[in-house]
Chain A
Amino acid sequence: DGGITQSPKYLFRKEGQNVTLSCEQNLNHDAMYWYRQDPGQGLRLIYYSQIVNDFQKGDIAEGYSVSREKKESFPLTVTSAQKNPTAFYLCASSPWAPLAKNIQYFGAGTRLSVL
C-alpha cells in the first residue's frame, strides 16, 4: 500500500527532553513537510524539504529540527527549546517539479503531550 506512515501515534515528552517523530513515505515524492496543528488554528508549516539533504524553515521552525538523509524519510525532532510542544503533528509529501501541481498527501498524525 502506498502512503505516508507516521509513528508513534501518541508520544509523551518530559521537561527538558528531546523527542523525535518519524515520517516515512513510499509514494516516491520528492518533497516532504511537517505541520503543527493546534485547535482553531489550522495547519502551520514547521519545516519542508524539496530534495534529499536539503530543507527549509517554515513559519514556526523555532524549537524544532529535521533531517532528510533519505528520500523516503523526514524525521522531526522537538527539542527542549520548544516551550509549548503539545500539539498534533502532521507529515505530508508531494511531488516537486517546475510548474508542478503541488498536491500534498498527509499521514495520520502524531499527538505529542507534555508530562
Chain B
Amino acid sequence: GQQLNQSPQSMFIQEGEDVSMNCTSSSIFNTWLWYKQDPGEGPVLLIALYKAGELTSNGRLTAQFGITRKDSFLNISASIPSDVGIYFCAGQLGYGGATNKLIFGTGTLLAVQP
C-alpha cells in the first residue's frame, strides 16, 4: 500500500525550541491532515487543510498545504514537554469511492527534554 514520506523520523529537542516536520508524496492530494498520537492511544486530529497554499494554525501549531499539492508542513513553536508523541500526516487523494481513503505518513517521533 502507498505511504507518504514523512521526515524527520524522530526529533530530540529542548523545551522551548521550535519544531518543523514535513510530508511529501508523488501524488496530488485534495486534503492534508495532521494527527498526534500519545503512547498507547489513538491519533487525535490537530489540523485539517483543504486548499493548496492554505496556512492554518491551532495554538502553537501551524500547518501548510503545499502549493504543488504534493506536500505539507507542520511547525510547532516553543515546544513544551506535553508535545511529546508521534505526529502523523495523512493525505486524501480525491473525493468519492476508493480515493476517499486516507494515506498515512510513517510518523515523526518527537521527544522534548525539559
Contact = CB atoms under 8 A, between A and B. Distances in A.
A45 B3 CA distance: 11
A42 B3 contact: yes
Contacts of A104: 33, 90, 102
B88 A109 contact: no
Interface of A: 4, 6, 31, 35, 40-45, 48, 56, 58-60, 88, 90, 92, 96, 98-109, 111
Contacts of A88: 40
Contacts of B106: 40-42
Interface of B: 1, 3, 6, 9, 31, 33, 35, 40-45, 48, 50, 88, 90, 92, 95-96, 98, 100-102, 104-107
A42 B95 contact: no
Contacts of B42: 4, 6, 90, 92, 106-109
Contacts of A109: 40-42
Contacts of B105: 42
B100 A96 contact: yes
A38 B9 CA distance: 14
Q: Closest 10 A-B residue pairs measured CB to CB?
A: A59-B1, A106-B42, A42-B106, A43-B104, A99-B95, A42-B104, A106-B43, A108-B42, A109-B42, A102-B100
